[in-house]
Amino acid sequence: MHIAIIGNGISGVTAARFIRKLSDHRITIISTETDHFFSRTALMYIYMGHMRYQDTKPYEDWFWEKNRIDLKRGYVEQVDTAGKKLIFKEGDSLSYDKLILATGSTPNKFGWPGQDLKRVNGLYSYQDLEAMEQYSEGLKKAVIVGGGLIGLEMAEMFHSRHIPVTILVRENSYWNGVMPPEESAMINREIIRNHIDLQLGEELSEIVDNGKGEACAVITKSGQRIECGYVGLTAGVHPNIKFLENSDIETKRGILVDAHLQTNISDIYAIGDCCEQRQPKPGRRGIEAIWYTGRMMGETVAYNICGKPVAYNPGIWFNSAKFLDIEYQVYGNVQARQPEEHQSIYWEHPEGNKSIRINYDKKQNQVVGFNLMGVRFRHEVCEKWIKEKTHIETVLKDLGLANFDPEFYAKHEQEVLNIYNKQQGKNLAVKEERSWNKVFAFLKS
């Protein structure tokens, strides 16, 4: 049996690896981006000089041949579902028995005049990184459109080379559609502290052509003109599925899949950023364009293809990122606008660069989520508490079990508990339980 996989990101490569572990099927990974799989989240570190491209490849180049995984560089222009054949832009074709679509995301464009000029790019592909590199020499100013994680990564990249940056954010606070107000305000302060020009409540209207087909300035909706030699479009992403427009594969925003990640066409599956769950799990979205769900889907689809049926289950929501010098983690249910049935315990360091938020259900007093800025908690501990619907007071007294900061960092568990004590008129104290043996015993219980 021949299994073709379109896309060599984390989803497609994970699928290939697990299919090889489970079977002796022929596997072909197809990509138009690069010859080999690389860590997309490390793109910024290549530009910043912390890593070389070869350092971002999790597997040596010989890995693929040794594991009998064929690699093909090419752009799939059409999927012939009836003939089980892929038609390439280059004119050739490839037959398959089963097909996995793992084509990822592509940056949003909203019809802005000038959005297709040179010196205008997102930050998603290796080609985007090459474009940034190409135009950075002598660059006097960059403008970034959009207030997400990728926009701030791009800003940090330019900032590392002392290239002045302006970020245009439509909202009145950075990432406030995801973050509660206090954490969003912390990101605003961190951006400004790093001398990056953050313009909130400002939108792009037009990208100006210098007469040579290149961007030279932007015009904002307020009428402001900002001279610049590069424009980063980072106003979100959407599933990369345009090549399926005339196919029989059913799509909505993404490629629609069932619980086993199969499309409406037999023997065709979709995973990662490009797929959309027909019936997402409670509290989850149909499309979740994040690294860990892509990896989980890759493993799940491998089992299904290899005759070991298993439904996709992403478990409890989590994510992590970095806002310049502030690390971020979230576990469970933490929303920008808190539901009426939830109560927050929010502690913030006096210096305004660290915070701990713990959400719990008011009626049941069960912990439902953690939001951490500049503080590290153990994933397994937080997940266990949420999964077991642990009482908030038990969590607060045992909070030291979750702390994953280095040994000599200041601990803030009692300060967090004091906020709850003040809210509830109690006098609870944190247990001094931070040793690995106690954490291990807790996780095994």
* Spatial contact of 128 and 231, defined as CB atoms under 8 Å apart: no
Residue 405 DSSP code: S
Q: Which residues contact 393 (CB under 8 A, 6 or more apart)?
A: 365, 420, 426, 428
CATH architecture of structural domain 318-444 = 2-Layer Sandwich (3.30)
How many residues are given for the chain? 445
Instruction: Tell me which fold the domain 2-106+238-305 belongs to.
Output: FAD/NAD(P)-binding domain (3.50.50)
Task: Mark out the alpha helices in 360-412 (DSSP H runs).
Answer: 379-387, 392-397
Q: Which residues contact 367 (CB under 8 A, 6 or more apart)?
A: 332, 358, 359, 360, 385, 386, 389, 390, 391, 392, 395
Q: How many helices (H) and strands (E) does the chain have?
A: 11, 25
Residue among 313, 434, 294, 322 at smallest CA distance from 378: 434
pLDDT at 361: 97
Q: Do domains 120-235 and 318-444 have the same CATH topology?
A: no
Q: Can you give the residue ranges of every domain in the chain?
A: 2-106+238-305, 120-235, 318-444
HSE-up of residue 42 (Cα within 13 Å, Cβ side): 16
Rg over CA atoms, the chain: 24
Tens place of pLDDT for every residue, the chain, 445 residues? 999 999 999 999 999 999 999 999 999 999 999 999 999 889 999 999 999 999 999 999 999 999 999 999 999 999 999 999 999 998 999 999 999 999 999 999 999 999 999 999 999 999 999 999 999 999 999 999 998 899 999 999 999 999 999 999 999 999 999 999 999 999 999 999 999 999 999 999 999 999 999 999 999 999 999 999 999 999 989 999 999 998 999 999 999 999 999 999 999 999 999 999 999 988 889 999 889 999 999 999 999 999 999 999 999 999 999 999 999 999 999 999 999 999 999 999 999 999 999 999 999 999 999 999 999 999 999 999 999 999 999 999 999 999 988 777 888 999 999 999 999 999 999 887 666 677 778 888 8
Cα dist. 88→47, 75, 242 in Å? 31, 6, 14
* Spatial contact of 239 and 254, defined as CB atoms under 8 Å apart: yes
CATH architecture of structural domain 120-235 = 3-Layer(bba) Sandwich (3.50)
Burial of 51 (0-12, 13-18, 19+ CB in 10 A): middle
> In terms of C-beta distances under 8 Å and separation of at least 24 residues, what long-range contacts does 376-379 make, across chains too?
376/327, 376/329, 376/403, 376/404, 376/405, 377/329, 377/331, 377/402, 377/403, 377/404, 378/402, 378/403, 378/404, 378/439, 379/318, 379/329, 379/331
